[in-house]
Amino acid sequence: MYVDSRDDDGVELAVEIFRILADATRVRLLRALTDPAQEDATRELSVSQLADAVNKRPGAVSQHLAKLRMARLVTTRRDGTKVLYRAANEHVGQLVEDALRQSEHLGSGVPPHHRPSEDVRHTRQTTTRPNGSD
């Protein structure tokens, strides 16, 4: 869905989301919940699992999760005595992934996500003939 840039309320809400994400621990927490490299795309993790994932104390992680929950970036589900956290929707994961990919452009050279994979390079080398004689 496209948000009209003239929609002041939408822009202000987007600014609030960026403000919440302007913290490395929160980005790491969301990454832990949405990491596409993980088998389960709908990961649910407890505070202690998330604390281990980001190498922070559970108390500190709980405070960050409370802010993410208030911003509606994560939701919770109670499982017995445990509270499990998950990304609120697929847009959260996409936002984190896009931010991380954009950050790769800040370095020098070609960002890793723009580099062809080894398989692609190997295929190109074996199918392209020298001197343009394909």
More confident residue, 107 or 58: 58
What sections of the chain are H helices per DSSP? Answer: 8-21, 24-34, 47-54, 58-70, 90-104, 118-127
**Upper half-sphere CA count for residue 10 (Cβ side, 13 Å):** 7
Q: Give a yes or no: residue 60 inside a domain.
A: yes
Distance CA 10, CA 22 (A): 18
- Has residue 14 been placed in a domain? yes
pLDDT winner (highest mean) among 5-19, 52-66, 102-116: 52-66
Give me the domain span that covers residue 3: 1-92
User: 68: domain CATH number?
Assistant: 1.10.10.10
Question: Does 125 map to a domain?
Answer: no
How many structural domains are present in the chain?
A: 1
126 domain-assigned: no
Mean pLDDT confidence for 35-39: 72
Q: Is residue 51 part of a domain?
A: yes
**Segment 77-131, tens digit of pLDDT:** 999 999 999 999 999 999 999 998 888 888 777 667 666 765 434 433 444 444 4
Q: Name the nearest CA neighbour of 85 among 110, 67, 111, 99.
A: 67
In this prediction, residue 124 carries a pLDDT of: 38
